[in-house]
Amino acid sequence: MKPEQSVCGLKEPFIFWLWSSMAGSPNADRLTGLRNVEDISFETKDNRILRGYKLKATGREGQVSSPKGYLLVMQGNAILADQIIGEFSHFSSAGFDVYVYDFRGYGRSDGKRRLKAMISDYVEILAALNASGYEQKFVYAMSFGGIAFLDGFESHGRLDRVIIDSVPSRLSDYGCPSEYDPVNHLPEDCSHFLFIAGQNDRVVPPSMSQELVEAAQQRSAVILRDETFGHPFMDSDRSVHRRRMQEIENYLLEKTGVGAHLSLI
């Protein structure tokens, strides 16, 4: 099957069109003030060009430096790279290159918006990053980005730390083959994973993510359930969003106290 063929029935193209419309149009003005940002592109094996941004590692001095590792951010369906790249400046300051791409067919990226193709895109992107000599390898995958990440997990190679935030357990409930259910792709060892489930999430409510989260917990994942968290980048106010981002930073950067308190929530 070609990558850009639908696997979830006739409604798949319409649903992705709807989501991409909600994401809006790219706007480079959102990058104002990011001095270490680089416009990047990636060519897929089916000759589509994916475009995005890279925050180059700077360290605390603010000068571009040799990176300690990378962070790949895989966003939700209604988000473009330029809308969120600035939220991860703490990681570039901590010495990490940060990558965010627009999904295939979204924003500035070429191609048709199809589930199978998007999964393949991130298998390729992660393979390229892992072959680039980075010592530490981090992924933060939220909502649809978490679906794409988990569905391709068997091909991703070893990653050091992964966060899965607000991801549904199954797509088969919505007409997709069960082989695309994220819960079917969990690794046996999830000890390097943090799963976040916002108890105030109206997009992926706890009932939709519960099976996945519980299965991950049984495989030694760290679990964060928070009563105030909504959907990523849709939290009720800026303070809640900032606290969510702080937990992400704590886990990936191994700040003092992380893990011990999260695993008990």
33-43 per-position pLDDT tens digit: 898 999 999 99
* Whole-structure pTM value: 0.94
Q: What is the per-residue pLDDT across 54-92, written as a single tens digit (0 to 9) for each? A: 999 996 666 777 899 999 999 999 999 999 999 999 999
By residue count, the chain amounts to 265
Number of folded domains that form the chain:
1
Q: How far apart are CA 133 and CA 254, in angstroms?
A: 21
Q: What is the domain extent for residue 128?
A: 11-17+31-264
Residue carrying the six token digits 């010495």? 95
Instruction: Write out pLDDT tens, residues 197-243.
Output: 999 999 999 999 999 999 999 999 999 999 999 999 999 899 999 99
| Helix or strand run (H / E) with residue 200 | none
In a domain, 26, yes or no: no
Asked whether residue 22 is assigned to any structural domain, the reply reads: no
- Does residue 6 form part of some domain? no
| 74 domain-assigned | yes
CB 114 within 8 A of CB 4: yes
Task: Give the integer Cα–Cα distance in Å for 17 and 79.
Answer: 13
CATH number for the domain harbouring residue 199? 3.40.50.1820
Is 216 part of a structural domain of the chain?
Answer: yes
Is residue 24 included in any domain, yes or no?
no
Quote the tokens at residue 83: 């809308």
57 belongs to a structural domain: yes
Residue 5 lies in a domain: no
